[in-house]
Amino acid sequence: MLQVSYIRENKEEVLARLAVRNFAEPQLVEEVIHLDDQRKRTQAQADELLAKGNAAAKQIGELMRNGKKEEAEAIKAETSSNKEEVKALQDELAQIEHDLQQRLVQLPNLPHKSVPAGKTPEDNEVVLVNGDLPSLPKSALPHWELAAKYNLIDFELGVKITGAGFPVYKGKGAKLQRALINFFLAEADKAGYEEMMVPHLVNEASGFGTGQLPDKEGQMYHVGLDNLFLIPTAEVPVTNLYRDVILKEEELPIKNCGYTPCFRREAGSYGAHVRGLNRLHQFDKVEIVQVVHPDHSYDVLEQMSAHVQGLLQKLGLQYRVLRLCGGDMGFTSALTYDMEVFSAAQERWLEVSSVSNFETFQSNRLKLRFKGKEGKTQLPHTLNGSALALPRILASILENFQTESGIKVPACLVPYTGFDFIN
């Protein structure tokens, strides 16, 4: 969430950076400033009346102690309406603060100066391409056909049990899935990330803290009876470990990782591009999260990007890195890199990771602070990244490493699978 003080002091810059996002409601900026002016005036009036009331109460007490009851009663009569006026102002103040908060939560994060202008994924900037695109014979199969051929994944069983988008992994398919999870966690551990096992359901405050609520409420599965939400990513519970916390500067950076299933309604997603593992309602992911000093966050973003790229390199997958344009970035992000793997059988790029710097946007919502060496309290920067999301990685492995006799397992996974070939 943006800070009101920053909006007030940098109004034109805020409007210019929101324009990079193609934000459709720039008038909210003016409304925030107007409501903040109202809040200050109303607060000042309430404080003035409270001060007068306190002074009158003190004076009445002194007069009563000195036996001047009539004078005390006269002052009491003069100030009898004071409490009602204060109550009215406090009610007005509460409404203004509510209206101000409602406007603030509708404002997305401001894009970093390096974010390219644009409206659609076609406007994203290709930062680098690693490796030559794989070349497969014309007889190559997409992953959903390979999964059926080698009895790795059963999509129809998932439909029977739950519905579309909830696949059942079987035999070597399940072992390959587990191998990927263990490999990603082991690599995160080597990189200094502390593993966390977190709940898969979160409350409303947690969803708000990381920016999923109210922005993505329609994309989350809601357990109505308990007012809980199934997590769309481990980012939510892991980052919320630090909600309402004041850290010491020497505790930074904090590096956590976690494996969880992820649940997304993906409402409105239809067509061939979502077939098989391309888009699911439930999938597995290893997430990396950092809480860092603001001076270092963009260096950390590059380090996190390099970590994800290292995983793809060890898997032997060709990939590219995109810097997302303003119109394609998530609501909470200041800068996002997407990593995409090329699916040779589908002949298209598949997003497998997003690595983002949220600057102070999440920490402000989370009320997460750190105390500097001089004793000053500041907002840290938060970052997170998929390291990695499994469905499209698994799809790319099946498709890109297929041979006439079966599927070759990447060497880095063999210690975890116990086999190097699927046939």
- CATH number, residue 88: 1.10.287
We report the CATH number of the domain holding residue 329 as 3.30.930.10
Percent helix, strand, coil in the chain, to 5, is 45, 20, 35
CA–CA distance, 85 with 50 (Å, rounded to integer): 10
Q: Are residues 21 and 47 in the same domain?
A: yes
Q: Are residues 310 and 401 in the same domain?
A: yes
Task: Please indicate if the annotation marks 62 as binding a ligand.
Answer: no
Q: Are residues 135 and 99 in the same domain?
A: no
Q: Is 69 inside a domain boundary? A: yes
Task: Please indicate if the annotation marks 265 as binding a ligand.
Answer: yes
Out of 78, 104, 130, pick the residue that ends a domain.
Answer: 104
For 120, the 3-state DSSP assignment is coil
Q: Is 114 inside a domain boundary? A: no
Closest CA to 341 of 332, 351, 331, 333: 351
Q: Are residues 227 and 92 in the same domain?
A: no
The encoded tokens of residue 296 equal 């270092």
Q: Cα 107 from chain centroid?
A: 15
Q: What is the mean pLDDT of residues 23-34?
A: 96
pLDDT at position 412 is: 98
Task: Please indicate if the annotation marks 354 as binding a ligand.
Answer: yes
DSSP bridge partners of 125: 323
Classify strands 254-263 and 194-195 as parallel, antiparallel or unpaired: parallel
Q: Which carries the bigger pLDDT value, residue 62 or residue 141? A: 141
Taking the complete model, does pTM exceed 0.85, yes or no? Answer: yes
Please report how many Cα atoms fall inside a 13 Å half-sphere around the Cα of residue 392, on the Cβ side.
27
CA–CA distance, 338 with 411 (Å, rounded to integer): 25
CA–CA distance, 14 with 361 (Å, rounded to integer): 14
Under the banding of pLDDT at 50, 70 and 90, the label for residue 49 is confident
Q: What is the mean pLDDT of residues 392-407?
A: 95
For 228, the 3-state DSSP assignment is strand
Q: Is 133 inside a domain boundary? A: yes
Task: Please indicate if the annotation marks 122 as binding a ligand.
Answer: no
DSSP bridge partners of 254: 291
Task: Please indicate if the annotation marks 340 as binding a ligand.
Answer: no
Q: Which residue has the tokens 């007069």?
A: 63
Residues 298, 322: contact at Cβ < 8 Å? no
Domain enclosing residue 285, as ranges:
121-422
Q: Cα 124 from chain centroid?
A: 20
Q: Are residues 68 and 158 in the same domain?
A: no
Q: Is 178 inside a domain boundary? A: yes
Asked if the model's pLDDT at residue 36 lies above 90, the reply is yes
Q: Are residues 55 and 25 in the same domain?
A: yes
Asked if the model's pLDDT at residue 207 lies above 70, the reply is yes
CA–CA distance, 352 with 392 (Å, rounded to integer): 6
CA–CA distance, 20 with 188 (Å, rounded to integer): 34
Task: Please indicate if the annotation marks 384 as binding a ligand.
Answer: yes
Asked if the model's pLDDT at residue 136 lies above 70, the reply is yes
Under the banding of pLDDT at 50, 70 and 90, the label for residue 398 is very high
Q: Are residues 49 and 142 in the same domain?
A: no
Q: Are residues 157 and 269 in the same domain?
A: yes
Task: Please indicate if the annotation marks 86 as binding a ligand.
Answer: no
Residues 417, 338: contact at Cβ < 8 Å? no
Q: Is 113 inside a domain boundary? A: no
Per mean pLDDT, which of 80-84, 128-132, 308-312 is the most reliable? 308-312
Task: Please indicate if the annotation marks 266 as binding a ligand.
Answer: yes
Q: Is 35 inside a domain boundary? A: yes
Distances (CA, A) of 262 to 143, 179, 265, 327, 387: 21, 18, 10, 24, 13
The encoded tokens of residue 181 equal 């999870």
Under the banding of pLDDT at 50, 70 and 90, the label for residue 86 is confident
Closest CA to 2 of 371, 354, 334: 334
Out of 79, 104, 129, pick the residue that ends a domain.
Answer: 104
Furthest-apart CA atoms within the chain: distance in Å: 106
Give residue-wise pLDDT tens across range 224-260. 999 999 999 999 999 999 999 999 999 999 999 999 9
Asked if the model's pLDDT at residue 85 lies above 80, the reply is yes
Closest CA to 293 of 195, 191, 376: 376
| Among the ranges given (12-16, 261-265, 270-274, 331-335), the one the predictor scored with the smallest mean pLDDT | 270-274
Distances (CA, A) of 188 to 92, 259, 270, 313: 50, 11, 34, 15
Give residue-wise pLDDT tens across range 142-151. 999 999 999 9
Q: What amino acid is encoded at 222 in this protein? A: H
Out of 49, 72, 104, pick the residue that ends a domain.
Answer: 104
Task: Please indicate if the annotation marks 80 as binding a ligand.
Answer: no
Give residue-wise pLDDT tens across range 267-324. 655 555 678 999 999 999 999 999 999 999 999 999 999 999 999 999 999 999 999 9
φ/ψ of residue 322, rounded to 5? -115, 140
Q: Are residues 291 and 197 in the same domain?
A: yes
Q: Is 109 inside a domain boundary? A: no
Q: Are residues 26 and 137 in the same domain?
A: no
pLDDT at position 273 is: 64
Under the banding of pLDDT at 50, 70 and 90, the label for residue 74 is confident
CA–CA distance, 163 with 282 (Å, rounded to integer): 11
For 419, the 3-state DSSP assignment is coil
Asked if the model's pLDDT at residue 126 lies above 60, the reply is yes
How many domains are there within the chain?
A: 2
Q: What is the mean pLDDT of residues 414-423?
A: 98
Asked if the model's pLDDT at residue 344 lies above 90, the reply is no
Q: Are residues 94 and 158 in the same domain?
A: no
Write the DSSP string, 340-399.
EEEETTTTEEEEEEEEEE-TTHHHHHHT-EEE-TTS-EEPPEEEEEEEEEHHHHHHHHHH
| Among the ranges given (22-26, 130-134, 259-263, 367-371), the one the predictor scored with the smallest mean pLDDT | 130-134
Q: Are residues 75 and 28 in the same domain?
A: yes
Q: How many CB atoms lie within 10 A of CB 398?
A: 28
DSSP bridge partners of 370: 247, 378
Q: Is 115 inside a domain boundary? A: no
Mean of pLDDT over the chain:
94
For 192, the 3-state DSSP assignment is coil
Task: Please indicate if the annotation marks 323 as binding a ligand.
Answer: no
pLDDT at position 403 is: 93
pLDDT at position 269 is: 53
Q: Which carries the bigger pLDDT value, residue 72 or residue 352? A: 352
Q: What is the mean pLDDT of residues 47-63?
A: 82
Give residue-wise pLDDT tens across range 362-388. 999 999 999 988 889 999 999 999 999
